[in-house]
Chains A and B, each alone.
Chain A
Amino acid sequence: MTLLEAVRALRRRAVSSAELTEFSLQRIAELNPTLNAMLTVIEDGAREQAKAADKELSRGVDRGPLHGIPIAVKDVFETCGVRTTCGSVIFLHHIPQRDAAVVERLAAAGAVLVGKAGMHELAYGITSNNPHFGAIHNPCNPEHIPGGSSGGSGAAVASEMVFMAMGSDTGGSIRIPASFCGTVGLKPTSGRVSRYGVMPLDFSLDHMGPLTRSVRDTAVTLQAIAGFDPRDETSSQEPVPNYLPEPRCSIRGLRIGLPQNFYFERLDPDVNIAVRRMAATAESLGACILPVRVPDIEALNAIGRVILLAEASALMEKYIGNRDQFGSDVVALFDQGRLLPATDYVNAQRLRRMMQREFAGLWAQVDCLFTPTTPMAAPRIGDKTVHLGEFVEDVRLAATRLVRGINVLGLPALSIPCGRDSQGLPVGLQIIGRPFDEALILRVAAALEDATL
């Protein structure tokens, strides 16, 4: 059942919020021992919220599509009175005295918060193999990683523990788990969703967005959480449009760019086939598929790595003295950031400006881009490298190769399921749009979902 199917059932009183919440809690009790997707379950609080939602709905008070719907948020979002660890022992006993802006907005929309989803330590990695709280497992095959860093969010949504889970994305951390777990995942434009109250990994690359089981579920969630927040300096005052695609929405005449360079190199052949099949579906719906050349994404990824290494190390410097409290992968990244000269960080931010200008020219040619989200389906837990044809690549670099640069540019990007590989694992299609054009990429994705489901 999708979120919007639950909404329809709620409105016709075929089910209550209390029943949906009990189902959610039951599902967590059954599956979490295997998947380890949820770090904290808020049983009593969720039951109270559900009861209140039912009472309001019976009185005719309707807060919109999320009213009475069980959801989770990644454990990077501060929740007043509920432990928020960021997947780290440093924050093991951190009980915030405030809600993150997103949590506030979801509560105002009537959503029922059933728990905090597990994650890669400090959101600094893509395996979600957390040394302190244990590995999170992929619901499609528990021997495989769910991706990360929002791995618990992806696993919780894919296994139907919740209808929606919020994630954060600094270099692909929403889109990678969406791709590996077979869910929808949206990284909105920079400034579209407030970062207030989210424990930061990187000041200039962090983005907040939902993971769901359908495109329209993502659209209604974005509608609830988007908008200006004066508490976040980077928050945008750009008006919030209607994001929900119409039923049977059309993409006739839209120009979809299919990159001829970078994005289709070093791919698992199954991924290549699945993404191109989706492009053919879009074409059959009346869209124009245009071959395009994109700016130097290898360069963009290098720029993104310098910015992330420097900003994350600066942020965590006060904790780095006690190296034993971090996993070896995370401490290695902090060390790399500390060894970079300040001039490299400043120049990376200057190069970012240049790349932004260069990329802007692309939007005169196309309305959005289609690329694979990840070059391969979910690797096995513990795998350090992945074989892509004749190439052997570090799993972390491979998983982030097609998504990291989009954070540097701040563009909106959506991952939707587009098939399975030969092992039966999900493959993701990434749709990249113009700044603040989430409505268009959601419309394209909804049309594809309508045509393929």
Chain B
Amino acid sequence: MSTLLQIDGLRTVFDTSEGEAVAVDGLELSIAQGETVGIVGESGCGKSVTALSVMRLIQSPPGRIAAGRILFEGRDLLALNEKQMRSVRGNEIAMVFQEPMTSLNPVFPVGAQVGEALRIHRGLGRAEAEREAVRMLKLVEIPEAAARARDYPHQLSGGMRQRVMIAMALSCEPKLLIADEPTTALDVTIQAQVLDLLGALKERIGMAVMLITHDLGVVAEQAERVIVMYAGRVVEEGPVDRVLASPVHPYTRGLLASQPALGQEHGELKTIPGMVPRLTELPAGCRFRDRCDRAEPRCSSTDPALTDCGPAHRAACIVTTEEES
């Protein structure tokens, strides 16, 4: 499998009244063709900002991509001009957002919105685009697709709207789909349906998926590889089975330990003490050390880099990776 997306040293910052907030700091990430990579981490760790950075949708001001390269099929997206970037968006890389309620334009029928990308990127006329849109809606298993295409977003349920979003993103058969918490706003039963749909479509089109979520269960089911982020950095990455079964980084261990097991009846839920550091006041050295139960004095002076700790498995912790080897 060849590399589709390669992110090197991405640094995205936001200028706030309290100083510069570094949302993504020196991120390294790669996704191969057809691969599904899950990105997990708690709110504010930089997952969404990473996604928006790849799409170059960071609102500037106050944000900006300060450094790094984002190589997509060998081309550095950050070096493209706006016109070239626009032909990538919605066409080669597409994105599905978290809130289906507010992510669709309330004054246009859904069919028109699904077909819009086709009209720009494939030059289809209005009637043709409408037909294609109906076909896409059928693909995402929306019943009575032709009638639904003329409906407005407010007439559809949350699950249906998310399917519409997926149809919209997939309309030009992108090579990479970025799904930012696609099921977080949905009911659990609908979640499962939408995830299954995503899996099936991914197979059909052969596209890679960057699946962003805070739900480890979703990652376990859908992803082949997982990347764990904390405070703007990757702290662990590897094959999903390995990372979830034998996590190396103390943060990942903490995340997994805090998940209540099925059948667990009493006892306190384990938590990770402390809070995520403020992005404007990031500490030197390892950013997790204040909350880490394995922290040593050298953790505050050295910036841990991602080190091998198994086949295709890396973690950014000096202490635990030493143990593994």
| A and B are interacting partners | no
